[in-house]
Amino acid sequence: MSLRKPTLQIEAVRRRRVSVSPESLLRLEPQNNHFIPIVRPAIPNLVERFIQLSSTGLLEYHERSSPRSRVSGNIYTSTEYPADQEIFLHNENSYQFTWPLNLYFFCQTPASTGGETPLADTREIFRRIDPEVRARFEAKKILYVRNFSPGIGLPWQEVFQTSERNVVGEYCRRMEIRFEWKERDGLRISQVRPAMAFHPESGELVWFNHATFFHVSTLDPAIREPLLKQCGEEDLPNNTYYGDGTPTSPTAKKRDCSNGEPTICWRSITCLSRTGAAPTPDRVRYWPVSQANGIGTISNTR
């Protein structure tokens, strides 16, 4: 017997609702800059199939920056932070040498209150940043510094999914990451990455980095001050600088989710494709601020 291919209800944020098969998403053209396919309802055991049909495959979560658990295959829970914590605005994996082109979210049991996922357009972020600031970041790029110390943040064994130092060293050399082994089985890594990126299909320049997300100033003062006292700036779990190592301060702030960006209010059994899950040349990546009981997976690299 052959299973009849499902017809899914696809909701385009701010636009329209259509019924399509997963394969047809590959041919579905966006109608404006805020086109985001949302599948409601999404049958749990068909979600992975839906992702496979609408992308080129699933990626493993490498060079980790937040605690997540593998659900099955290369599908993971969303960041496992306490329910009262928000996730600061960011571009997925932009600190890495490679990053995903598609990102999917699945929600089976939504929070009773809160847990929405505000979305924003990185082209608009780029336009709002002072041209002098943009030019400075474009010229100097961004230096990401991460320290892995016992009892503070993720251990390097979890970040690199290995307990072998030589495997970590080989990965770092391949990904152009400087690394330094420290006492007490600690590790410091640093890497210089661009602050901007060209959209792979439209060619538009977008603000694409973790400069603010990893900067120490984004931490709650109740966490930041004790951490600085314990570690000092040099040994903080995460921090960012200009690419030449000189200090910088965040150039982007949290956005009020009512500031014109579409917001995903999770309902039971929802699957969100964050980049449109199709060749959409006028789409750029979006990011979550907070979400509840979600499963995320990434596919395609730049």
Domain ranges across the chain: 8-85+97-121+262-301, 123-242
pLDDT digits (tens, 9 = 90+) for 187-213: 999 999 999 988 877 788 888 999 988
| Contact criterion met (CB below 8 Å) for 42 and 48 | no
Q: What one-character DSSP code corresponds to residue 233?
A: G
Which secondary structure element, helix H or strand E, spans residue 49, and what is its range?
Answer: helix 44-53
Query: For residue 122, what pLDDT band results from cuts at 50, 70 and 90?
Result: confident
- How many distinct helices (H) and strands (E) make up the chain? 6, 16
Q: 251-283 pLDDT, tens per residue?
A: 433 333 334 455 555 555 555 655 432 222 222
Q: What is the dihedral of CA 133, 136, 137, 143, to 10 degrees?
A: -130
Cβ proximity of 84 and 229 under 8 Å: no
Least confident of 157-161, 176-180, 268-272: 268-272
DSSP 58: B
Average pLDDT (55-84) is 84
If pLDDT is split at 50, 70 and 90, which confidence band does 171 have?
Answer: very high
Given the candidates 3.40.50.280, 2.40.128.630, 3.60.130.10, 3.40.30.10, the CATH classification of the domain at 123-242 is 3.60.130.10
pLDDT band with cut points at 50, 70 and 90 for residue 44: low
- The alpha carbon dihedral of 142, 148, 153, 155 has a sign of positive
Averaged pLDDT score across all residues of the chain: 74
- Phi first, then psi, for residue 216 (nearest 5°) are -60, -30
pTM greater than 0.85? no
